[in-house]
Structure formats: C-alpha cells, structure tokens
Structure 1
Amino acid sequence: MFDLLVQLDITFVVWITCFCAVTLSAGIQRLSGQAFGIVAAPLIALVAPQFLPAGLLLLGITVGLTSTAVDFSALTRAEIIPGFFGRALGAVIAAMIAASITNVDLIAGLTGAVVLFGTILSLSGLRITIQPFSLIMAGIAAGLMGTITAVGAPPMALLYQYEPAKRARAMQNTFFFWGMCISVLALAWQDLINAKHLIFAGSLLPAIVLGLAVSMPLAKRLERQTIRPYALGLSMVAATTLIARLVFA
C-alpha cells in the first residue's frame, strides 16, 4: 500500500476517500443506470482532481460492462446506433478541447459546474421524445461533458427518466459503457492518459466489485426513484463544496 501511495503521490486518506466514492457510485450506477460520474467525480475532484477525467473513465468501463450484462435482455437495439454515434462525435470534439486544458483547478471547477447542471437537468422534469435526433444530440452532449469531466450521464438520463426501470437501466448502462470506452480512446488519442491514471484506476477496481456486490441483492427491491433523490442530493452537495473551495481558496 505504501508503494502505491508513493507512486500516486497521495495520502492514504485521499485514496480511501476515492475508494469509498467509487464503491458508492458503482452501486448506484448498477441500481439506477446513472450516477457513477455524477456522484464519484465531484467527490474525487475534492481530494484528487489530478486523476480526472481519465482515471474515473477507466474505472467506468468496468462498471458499464458488468452493469450492462445484467439487463442485456431489456435493450432496445434500434436506439443504440444513434446514441453511440452522437457520443463518439462529442468525445472526439471534447478530447481536442481537453488537450488545451492544463490547469487541474479548471478541470475541478468544470466538473463541479457540470455536476450541478446535470443535477438540475435531472430534476427539471423535462420529457423529451426518444427518437434518432434526440439520441444523437444527447449523445453529443454526453460525449462533450463526459470526456472533459467524466460526468456524461445526465443527457441520456433525461431521455430515459420516464421509461420502465429495467429498460432505463439497460439503455443507460449500455450508453455509459460505450461512452467510457470512446472517451478513453479519445483522450489516449490526445496523449491525455498516463501511467498514474492506470495505477489509480487499477487500485480502485476492488471498490467497483464491492459496490456491485452490495447492489445486486438490492436491484430487485429498490426502484430507481427510491435512491435517485439521495444520489442527486449528494452530488449537489459535493459539487457546491468543490466550487466554493475553488472560489474562496
């Protein structure tokens, strides 16, 4: 453990905070089909912004893959291609923008702002028809937000928030998995992923296993609306704290 902390240049308190954030957000992602980034990103940005967005996106690939496999039968395949296309386009544009951002505090501030925006969007109650155009536009927005800040779920969550729980989870987890993969590839294309990101993500893989294991028996008992307010509330508090710290530092 000591060698790990030396390699990452962080304290044990920082690492265990990230571990808890990933455990919590992985469980919520499995239960609701959203919230991995919107919960974990602001919490990690408070203590270790240098690992965003790449470190969290790498972890998200594992979360998305395992969560998608569980509800695979509920996928609506006709909706996948437009969403995938939009996410890929947004990720490519975002990676070029991210290459010009070198200030860690700026990334942290953007993360807080995106989380607040996403939370407000999730609570807005907007109802948007799911069709190819809306899927492409939501995908582009998710690609831009997710690749720069690791928070890309809100646009798709807005589309699927009134769908049956199992279908919503399946579709959002599928878009989430694809989004993580394409965002990581886009960042790698711009040389924005390094060894520390890989070590950080690897060290927190047990947190994902723990979060998913705890959430599995709860998936059939809890509707996503049961935990959604708590997840959004935690995200808003963390994002507000992050922005306040940056403003008044």
Structure 2
Amino acid sequence: MIYGFEATVLAVSFAAVLAGTLVQRLAGQGLGMLAAPVIALVAPEVLPAALLFLGIAVGIGSVSVDPKAIALPELPPGFAGRALGAVIAASLAARLPAPEAIGPIIAGMVYLGIGLSLIGVRVAITSVSLFSAGTVAGLMATLTGVGAPPMALLYQHETQRRSTAMQNTFFFWGMVVSVLALGWYGLLTVNALVFAGLMLPAVGFGLLVARPLSARVARAAIRPWALGLAALAATTLLIRQL
C-alpha cells in the first residue's frame, strides 16, 4: 500500500495518465477519454476530482508550448460556457449516490466523445457555438473528467497547430473552473489530491516524451489509436459495472 492505494492500482493508473497526457499534448484531447475509464475501474472514489487536478498540470504544460497559436477573441465565449457547465455539473455531482455510480456515466461520455470525433461535421466557430460547446464540455468534464470532445468537434477542421493550441487552452481553463466548482460544493477530497500527486510524474513524463514527437507525429496518425484505446477502456468499464 502506498498512501492508502494498492501498488497495482497506482501502476495501472500511471500508465493510463501517461498515455492520456501524451495524446492530450499532441492532439488537444485524450486525457479524460483514456484515463477516466481506467481510473474508474480501479479507483472510482477519486473521480472526477483527481483527474481534474491532473488536467490543470497537463493544461499548463500544453498551453505554454505554443501560445502564439491561441486566438484570444475566441476565448471569452468558450470560457463563459465552460464555467456555466461546470457549476451546473457540480450541483448534479453533489447528488450522485456513490462513487461507483459514475462508472456508466463515464463510459457514456467516452462513447459520446468518440461519436463526436468521428462524425466529421463542420461547425462554424462563432460566439454561439463556442459558448454552447463550452457549456457541454463543462458539464461532461466536471461530472466525469471527460470534457474535450465538444471543443474538438469545433476545431477538428483547423490546422493542427491552431486546433491543438485552442483545445489545450480551453482544456486548461475548464479543469480550473471544474475544480473550483467541485470545491464550492465540498466535493474535493484529500484522497483525490493525494492520488493526483502520485500521478504527477506520469504527467511530467508524458509532456517530456511529447515534446520531440509534436513536430513529427500528425494528429491524424494518433486519432485512430486514441479512439480505439478509449473505446476499449470504456467498454471494459461498462462490462465490469453491469
């Protein structure tokens, strides 16, 4: 046991967070879709708070890499929507009966995210679409730790540099407001914070590995693998919960 967690639990979670961080940095989404179902299998009691704490660290490391690709005028409506979604979701999370109840919700959000990633619909990037996507992302992320897909849908047809920078910026902001919203409702636990602290080396290593790969690996090459792993993790979680 390490700080109350089995070594196997930490090892499995470490691998999931590492993979999620790597994909998040390279593609602008992936941490929640890859890591949330795995952690829900082995340590559901730390979700979603632990993953949101880790998301802040991943966001800082990702946004700082390419700030010139961030379009500042697009941030306010997306930020506002994300904050609204986080507050609504935190009030709903306070009513969840038990940690295990989040498992099917996470699986459903991952499947939804995969679907949104695959449909290929082009949505114009406007104040309305940014606010709407931000609100849905805030709901998803604060409840389950999986919040990137709505923004990924908006930016999927943009250049890789712009898409990744914008998604990671919204991701970072979303993690911060989700943590604040959960804290307001008293849903942040010491256990989740300790777990997140134990997973921080995985975040650091993932960001380090992603640095030399970012200029060589195309987003399109990562996407099928990331979606496939996310689907496998969500399906395993759903089977275990049924």
Question: Do residues 240 (structure 1) and 235 (structure 2) align?
Answer: yes
Structure 2 counterparts to residues 90-239 of structure 1, below 5 A: 90-239=85-234
State the distance in 2 between where 1:241 and 1:24 align.
17
Counterpart in the other structure of 2:11: 16
Contact 1:71–1:169 (CA under 8 A) maintained in structure 2: no
Contact 1:57–1:184 (CA under 8 A) maintained in structure 2: yes
Specify the code of the residue in structure 2 equivalent to 1:156: M
Question: Do residues 25 (structure 1) and 25 (structure 2) align?
Answer: no
Partner SS for 1:163:
coil
- CA shift at 1:73, angstroms? 0.5
State the distance in 2 between where 1:11 and 1:89 align.
36
State the distance in 2 between where 1:109 and 1:58 align.
22
Q: Which runs of 5+ in 1 are unaligned?
A: none
- CA shift at 1:47, angstroms? 1.1
State the distance in 1 between where 2:52 and 2:144 align.
9
Contact 1:26–1:211 (CA under 8 A) maintained in structure 2: yes
- CA shift at 1:44, angstroms? 1.0
After superposition, the C-alpha distances for 1:96-127 in whole angstroms (9 at most, x for unaligned) are 00000132221111001110111111111111
State the distance in 2 between where 1:50 and 1:227 align.
30
Q: Which runs of 5+ in 2 are unaligned?
A: none
**Cα RMSD (Å) of the superposition?**
0.8
State the distance in 2 between where 1:139 and 1:77 align.
15
Partner SS for 2:17:
helix
Name the count of aligned residue pairs.
242
Specify the code of the residue in structure 2 equivalent to 1:137: S
What's the TM-score once normalised by structure 1's chain length? 0.96
Residue number among 82, 96, 103 corresponding to 2:77 in the alignment: 82
Query: Percent of pairs identical after alignment?
Result: 52
- CA shift at 1:50, angstroms? 1.0
Partner SS for 1:70:
coil
